[in-house]
Amino acid sequence: MTRRSITTTAAVAAFGLSALAALAATDPWNAANARLSYPIYKPAQTLGYKISGFGYQPCPGGKSKASIYATYGTYKGILLSKTKGFGIFEGSPAICSDHAEFWPQGTRVIGGVKAKLGVYCDPPTHCTLAQGVKNGYILLWKRGVTRIQMDSSHLTLDQFLKVARSLASVK
């Protein structure tokens, strides 16, 4: 190998490593997985929505930054808004935020466990399952030691469950 081909090979390898590092830096799920002491779960199916927000939530009286949230699409957690997408909240031993009031709609199996399904609405109003598209759905469940909450905005129940059932462990 000539000096020129060694230099070219080294430059290509260095570029590949820097591109790989840049790619890893843009995925907040991998950084969170390295930072947190419990398993976290990332959606493999996002219905084409891109991640629009990601952060850590401090827990009062507990470890700082012990839980995470991610939003996809234009979802902002505001009920009855014109946003579209979903949010995921994860924590252990607890999720460090409170969800809004919702009307229970039974359970669904997510990742082999029962998840509580609800439709957001202000009490004492009784909301139907069909109102979930407009008002938003909520799922609450525990996967191992990790507690998970998912919320939606203007998604059908089938779309929402498709995302929830696609959650895979971040490695």
Beta strand spans in the chain (E)? 41-43, 51-57, 67-73, 85-91, 102-110, 113-120, 137-143, 146-153, 167-169
pLDDT per residue as tens digits for the range 100-156: 889 999 999 999 999 999 999 877 778 899 999 999 999 999 999 999 999 999 999
pTM of the entire structure?
Answer: 0.81
> Tokens at residue 157, please?
């129940």
Contact 139, 160 (CB under 8 A): yes
Contact in structure between 95 and 147 (CB atoms under 8 Å)? yes
**What does the pLDDT look like over 49-86, one tens digit per residue?**
999 999 998 777 655 567 999 999 999 876 667 889 99
- The 10s digit of each residue's pLDDT in 23-50 is 345 789 999 999 898 999 999 999 999 9
| Alpha carbon 161 to chain centroid, angstroms | 13
